[in-house]
Chains A and B, each alone.
Chain A
Amino acid sequence: MKKPARRVVVAGFAVGLIAVAAFFFWPESTPSSARVFQPPEVKASRLTPEQYRLAITDVFGAHIDLGGRLEPVMREAGLLVVGASSVSVTAAGMEQFDAMADAISEQVLMHDDNRRVFLSCAPAKSDQPDDRCASEFLAPVGERLFRRPLTEWELRSFVAAAAAATKALGDFHAGLSLSLSAMLTSPQFLFRIPVIEEDPDRSGGYRLDAYSRAARLSFFLWNTGPDAELLRAAREGELDSDRGFRRQVDRMMASPRLEEGVRAFFHDMLRFDTFETLSKDPALFPKFSRREMADAQEQTLRTLVYLLLDQQRDYRDAFTTKKTFLTPSLAAIYQVPLAHQGPNGGVESWEPFEFPAEDPRAGILSHASFTALHSPPGRTSPTDRGKALREVLMCQTVPAPPPDVQFTVVQNTEDPIHKTVRQRLIAHSTVPSCAGCHRIMDPMGLALENFDGAGEFRLVENGQPIDTAGDLDGMEFSNSLELAQVVRDNPAIPSCLVKRMTTYAFGQDFTQDQRVFLKQMRVRFRESGFKIPELMRTIVTSPEFFQAAPASDPVSVDALTAAVR
């Protein structure tokens, strides 16, 4: 062989080797579609209090009284829905679930009006078991409650339970109601337990099975279990085809129940559950009581639903919008006029309200649901509000205070009983170990000092105008209106929304394995003009939405039973 040809062959071989190496070892250089998404390991999650309530009202009607208290869920990765996959049922919680199950099933089967609706058959003898009629009731109800058809074993056991209870009580309906009660305390109802199957589209990969897909879709879009139509589609394999699946997505997104899902999402993201334990000193804030706390949440949720769902506006406009909804009693807190409609003494109604352009109030940061929620009972706290903005809306973590935090500044003041916000924040901004973190929180909170601890607006404090200037990540603002604009323009805002909504939809926190997918979602969100319904559709129709990793370390029940006390 001539020398130049050998060189060519060697060069060609080397190029080939490099190309092969590049293909295998440099993933960034490959097209995104070839990148592998590592789905998170699926986890069971307990129904949140609101999901439990909705499940009951969906199946049995809104007039059913739950008759108990729902065990709270802890927040994880900023969401209760994620924390729900880390909690179980405590003994005290089980008592409550049991009491509620009894109350619900009694209303369903022991009150004549309800029984007529739910029970279409009658037992052969009213004081004897009747497996056929019990089965006719328990099978469809069980399918709705367990979010999938009952297995033969499950149905058999609930029918047998009804029979046993009927014998003990001498009443078919009472016995049937105890079996329904047992269904309502079963783990298959209280926990969303995903089932996975092999994914035909990815060799070696897994996905959620049809019913689990239906549940994940339904809990995201409507915050409740699949309705009868969605269960039917799952049963008949329609969710396995792209067309069938999209038909259901279209149906659910066109439904007015989409509002419930959006509300539930923002209720979780904005941490409205903490209103339950919020208290305001009535002597200092007589206007702000339980009723106003409920109204404040409703104001923000209505505003968001109107803006993002009805009007299909840019999500970031939520921070600058002048439009909101108020009741007259809420208007008194904002000190704006809003007359009662209708006769004297009637129920207050919600009215649209728009702040004029020059009014410094704009967006959800000026709502009482933000300003009052993130304030201690007796005063404001710029630090609390700044921290809430960072953590709740920008998904940024503020480090904990240092263990050796010094309070020598505190010692040197003349009259610290009357310590003002000003003096305390001087320490925050000048002492080096404090300033690092407080600088990223306090300025935004200071801009919101126009809003007192109960969300009431004020321009002056003790006769002096409030100075509200500061900066957020280098962008300056001189008042709350400018803060709103600066917040709107901060890239962390839409980015955080995507993270929250995606983890909410999946029900689990994301790790580095899903980082690329999250980035894709952010890009699509931006391309859509930051529209929420578009983002929801993008998430549910993404190929990744139903991909799953199998459970690690499965074990037999017998071995487990032996190990458990």
Chain B
Amino acid sequence: MRAPGSAIPEVAGVRGRHGGSGRGAVLRHGAAFGVVLWSLWAASVALAAGGQSRTFVVSFFAQQFTNYPGDCPGGVNPEDERGQIAFALRTMGYSGAEVRCLMVGWDQGGEGERKVNEILERRAVINGEPVNPMTHPEAVPDPQLKFVNAKQSVGFDLDGKQSADDFVDMITGKPGIDNQLFRSLGCNQNFRGSWTSPSAYGEWVWVQLRDSQPAWLMMITDAPSGKAGEVIVRIQRSFDHLRSNMDGSPRWHATYRADPDPRSFNEYRGYLRDGELTIPRQPRFSVLWNGLSAPVLNLSQFQLRLQQDSRGQWDGLIGGFQPWRELYFAFSHNGIVGDRPGLWHAMKKAADADPEPATGQNLAISVAYRFTAIPAFITPSGASVRTAMREGSKP
């Protein structure tokens, strides 16, 4: 952000000399002063000139849903603990009146609550024995959570086909958008969000981990082909977490050490035109992720589309087919997501890629993630890598 102002006029008609750096001594520095790499210094000057940075750090990342009021006819799936418990009791076959009575007892706590919990323990049963329904969702009969009934969404056409399940892109107007995660989870309150307001779940995960999880970096360089608009885009991890200002906003122009680990190294040809960066369909994308989301973010049929604003910040989406069971892994030990066995069954039904040969069950689900990135410096890690790895910088 820059304070307003403009070019400064001559003062009282005095004009200065041009050029020359005066007699400032070029210091014969000792070993203590390492001179910064020329390219990085040039980058820093370019930064000061405004918006020319080619290196960035991801400053926000979360599933992108685009809900609007009424897109879940009959209301959203039960959101709070009480609602979910009542819902679970219903799915177990208790009538409305019985559920109401049981919930009165639950409200009062003590004996009433114990009775309800006793019932819920048998929500998932294998060979007559009760099991944890969250970790054994297959043992829970499908609670039939509601799906989103919207026609529009954001995301990508991942399979190149138009089908009944597809959305129309809210931004570009194009049909054939694949975002089955949105469809299957979009009626759960904590996943609901909009372009300007992230979902409670997405925001929560981000804020929990941004000051500790290794940041993701993006570097854009001109393609060797030399063709105008063609670029090489590299997305990889850093050793360092995202730097933030005291008020929590992401800190621009911080420096990150690049992690060369091939498990998080992705390089593609992309196209940069009029401030828009696109990467067309790529077979795979992979970065190590975190314990609240999934250990690895794996996307097949990966695509990217970002817009750059006047200050240099990128904002847009990446998308692909993601293994839904890996997502469930994170959901399963998190109470804020909603009825967890219900989410399992929802994703299972909505999954739209990567069929398992034996059963035909799709193992991957189409998804779009919001991706913003701000200018940053990236340094090769060198000796500090060994130090960092020795001292343990895993997420």
The answer for the CA separation of A442 and B243 in the assembled complex, in Å, is: 36
Answer yes or no: B246 CB below 8 A from chain A CBs.
yes
Q: A353, B11: Cβ atoms under 8 Å?
A: no
Q: A322, B17: Cβ atoms under 8 Å?
A: no
Q: B21, A357: Cβ atoms under 8 Å?
A: yes
The answer for the CA separation of A452 and B25 in the assembled complex, in Å, is: 26
The answer for the CA separation of A435 and B14 in the assembled complex, in Å, is: 14
Chain B residues within 8 Å of A332, by CB: 243, 251-255
Chain A residue, CB-CB nearest to B15: A469
Q: Which of A360-379 contact B (CB under 8 A)?
A: 362, 378-379
Q: Which of A459-500 contact B (CB under 8 A)?
A: 459-471, 476-479, 481-482, 484-485
Answer yes or no: A121 CB below 8 A from chain B CBs.
no
Expressed in whole angstroms, the minimum distance between the Cβ of B62 and any Cβ of chain A is 21
Binds B, one of A195-203, A216-224, A262-270, A285-293: A285-293
Q: 1/0 per position for A425-467, CB-CB distance to B under 8 A?
A: 1100100000100010011001001001100011111111111
Q: B1, A459: Cβ atoms under 8 Å?
A: no
Q: B2, A458: Cβ atoms under 8 Å?
A: yes
Answer yes or no: B240 CB below 8 A from chain A CBs.
yes
Chain B residues within 8 Å of A321, by CB: 27
Contact of B36 among A336, A342, A343, A453 (CB under 8 A): A336
On whether A420 and B45 interact (CB within 8 A), knowing A344-B388, A345-B212, A354-B35, the answer reads no
Answer yes or no: B164 CB below 8 A from chain A CBs.
no
Binds A, one of B47-55, B81-89, B105-113, B290-298: B47-55
Expressed in whole angstroms, the minimum distance between the Cβ of B207 and any Cβ of chain A is 16
Q: B253, A342: Cβ atoms under 8 Å?
A: no
Q: B17, A459: Cβ atoms under 8 Å?
A: no
Q: B391, A343: Cβ atoms under 8 Å?
A: yes
Chain B residues within 8 Å of A482, by CB: 16-17, 20-22
Give the contact-size bracket for chain A. 35 or more
Answer yes or no: B69 CB below 8 A from chain A CBs.
no
Chain A residues within 8 Å of B48, by CB: 335, 457-459
Contact of A354 among B4, B9, B14, B36 (CB under 8 A): B36
The answer for the CA separation of A262 and B247 in the assembled complex, in Å, is: 34
The answer for the CA separation of A66 and B114 in the assembled complex, in Å, is: 53
Answer yes or no: A380 CB below 8 A from chain B CBs.
yes
Answer yes or no: B34 CB below 8 A from chain A CBs.
yes
Answer yes or no: B41 CB below 8 A from chain A CBs.
yes
Give the contact-size bracket for chain B. 35 or more
B20, B22, B35, B47: residue with the most chain A Cβ atoms closer than 10 Å: B22
Q: B2, A462: Cβ atoms under 8 Å?
A: yes
Binds B, one of A130-138, A323-331, A394-402: A323-331
The answer for the CA separation of A335 and B4 in the assembled complex, in Å, is: 20
Q: B5, A449: Cβ atoms under 8 Å?
A: yes
The answer for the CA separation of A442 and B14 in the assembled complex, in Å, is: 12
Contact of A342 among B16, B34, B243, B387 (CB under 8 A): B387
B16, B243, B391: residue with the most chain A Cβ atoms closer than 10 Å: B16
Q: 1/0 per position for B14-46, CB-CB distance to A under 8 A?
A: 111111111111110100111111101101110
Answer yes or no: B358 CB below 8 A from chain A CBs.
no
Q: What are some 10 contacts across the A-B interface (CB < 8 A)?
A: A285-B1, A329-B254, A337-B377, A344-B212, A357-B21, A418-B4, A425-B11, A459-B49, A462-B6, A467-B10
The 9 residue pairs across chains A and B that have the minimum distance between CB atoms: A469-B16, A478-B16, A485-B22, A337-B377, A289-B246, A344-B393, A343-B391, A332-B253, A379-B3
B residues with a Cβ closer than 8 A to A are 1-12, 14-27, 29, 32-38, 40-41, 43-45, 47-50, 211-212, 214, 239-241, 243, 245-247, 249, 251-257, 377, 379, 384, 387-388, 391-393
- Given contact pairs A336-B44, A345-B241, enumerate 11 new A-B contacts (beta carbons under 8 Å): A287-B252, A289-B246, A328-B254, A331-B254, A354-B34, A362-B24, A421-B6, A461-B2, A466-B8, A467-B9, A476-B17
